[in-house]
Structures are given as structure tokens and as C-alpha cells.
Amino acid sequence: MDIRELLAGKLSEEELRKVKRAFDIIGDIAIVEIDESLREKRKIIAEAIMKVHKNVRVVCSKAGPVTGEERIRPLEIIGGENRTETIHTENGCRFKLDISKVFYTPRLANERMRIARQVREDEVVVDLFAGVGPYSILVARLAKPKLVYAIDKNEFAYHYLLENIKLNKVEGRVRAFLGDCREVVEEQRIMGVDRVIMNLPKQADHFLDVAFKIVKNGGMVHFYYFLREEELFEGAFKIIQREAGRFGRRIEFLEARKCGELAPGVFRVVVDFEVNP
């Protein structure tokens, strides 16, 4: 049954029209956007969601935008159990995480698989903004990389990253580091790597220098960024070209695509490029 059908009689026609049918489910937690005018009805809406989606045990409403370097969104629990930790399954991997303390979106599942399928045996991969490990762990499980360096500065993300490495039995293939990626690559003397994943679309441009420093000739970079419709994809190409020039590297753009819409007319994009001398 549809959520709006369940709520008919409890909400007015006008209110029903404002109930969003689409929302993310992470593990057994639903994350919904509730119109301010429906605030008083949020518990009834949460009950309806749990009736329709039998696997949902917690309903949270978005209480603000994703902000800060750690990319966390404030949330309010509006129904079900009083917790924000869950285990989410994606592409056959299991990720334990607390949705109130770390970034996670299930909307990148296909994109993560697209990247993992490109990884060849014995590659060294660096995931500069690893979060709880959805790229690093999938790469380690699906391909046979020599090593994946997974870095994150959020201590909660790092905590779950360590747990998820064990949960998915990839201890030998993924090494996790807590800290700023620029500092970690210096300290660990990471260089000459085959592939760099840069999933920090809000600020990835500030870290292109790190990517150019560590990627080997013939290596690949996956650069995520936010662009408005009118900037597709030149807005990203220009920034990458400029940074490549500063490092005396030549680049070849291999693919550019949208992988999500952040707001009307604003897209998450990914640009794959190969780096050469």
C-alpha cells in the first residue's frame, strides 16, 4: 500500500500532497524530508512509513542540509526505535554506520560499482575521502588490488571503516588511516599509485594537488564535483586542466557523467582522467 493511501483520513488533501513518497533507506532507517507545515503530523507519517516498509525500524527527518568538512546532516528521530546506527548492504558488502555521525548515501551504489569494475589486479588505489569505506571495501572485494589506502578525517567514519574492513573480511587489502588526506599521504610516503578516488564533491578541487602528487604516469583519477547545468562539464575540466598545468602533467579525459542531482539544476558529477608526464 502507498503511504498517502494509509494517511488518507488522517491528513487533509492539501497535506497529503506535501507528503514525499520518495526517500532514502539506509539499513533499517528511513530518512525523510517533511514539509515544515506537516511538523505536527510527523509521528503519524513515520508510523505510515514503517507500515508500508516492514524492514524500516527507525524513521528520521532531515533537520538541515549536509554541512561541514565531514559532510554530516542534522537529523531528528520521528518514529520507531531510538537509535541512528544500522548496517546497510550495498553491492554485496555490509556497512555499519551511524547516520548522525558520518556521511553516507545509498544513491552512489551504481557509481561505486562502475569504479570497482575498472580496477585491475595488483593496483594500488587511494581513496582520499573514504568515509565508512563503500568504495575501498567494494574495490577490495570485487577486484584484486594489491592495496587500497582508505583515508578519512572524521573519527567516527574511521571507527566504522575499521569495523567494516573486518565485517567484509578485507583486512589484507585495505589499510585505514585517520587524518587529513594531505598529511596522511605525506606521513605514509604514498606515491606512484595506480588510481585515486576523490569523492568530496564540495571541495575536491582543493585536493587535486594531492592527487597529482601521488598518481603515477598512466594512473587514473576519479574526481567528483558539484556543477550547475550550464557548467556541465567545462566547469570541472577547466579546474583539472589548470591544476595539471601547475604540476607539469598532461591529462586525458576519459569520461564525464552526472551521478545524482543535489538540488534542482545542481548535479554531482564525476570526471575520470588519466595522468601522464
Ligand X SMILES: C[S@@+](CC[C@H](N)C(=O)[O-])C[C@H]1O[C@@H](n2cnc3c(N)ncnc32)[C@H](O)[C@@H]1O
Contact stretch for ligand X (CB under 6 A) within 117-125, 151-159, 162-170, 249-257? 151-159
Contact stretch for ligand X (CB under 6 A) within 8-16, 32-40, 150-158, 261-269? 150-158
Residue 41 or residue 71: which is nearer to ligand X going by CB?
71
- Report the nearest approach of ligand X to the CB of residue 153 (Å): 4
Establish if 104 lies at the interface with ligand X (CB under 6 A): yes
Q: Could you tell me how many residues of this chain bind ligand X (CB under 6 A)?
A: 20
Question: How many other β-carbons are positioned within 10 Å of the β-carbon of residue 141?
Answer: 17
Contact 201, 268 (CB under 8 A): yes
Cell numbers for 170, please give them: 578485507
Contact 144, 121 (CB under 8 A): yes
Establish if 177 lies at the interface with ligand X (CB under 6 A): no
Phi, psi of 114 (to 5 degrees): -60, -45
Contact 220, 194 (CB under 8 A): yes
Contact stretch for ligand X (CB under 6 A) within 7-15, 50-58, 68-76, 139-147? 68-76
Q: What angle do CA 100, 103, 106 make, to 5 degrees?
A: 105
Establish if 157 lies at the interface with ligand X (CB under 6 A): yes
Establish if 199 lies at the interface with ligand X (CB under 6 A): yes
Establish if 103 lies at the interface with ligand X (CB under 6 A): yes
Question: How many other β-carbons are positioned within 10 Å of the β-carbon of residue 223?
Answer: 26
Cell numbers for 42, please give them: 510527523
Residues lying near ligand X in the complex (CB under 6 A): 69-71, 103-104, 108, 129-131, 134-135, 151-154, 157, 180-181, 199-200
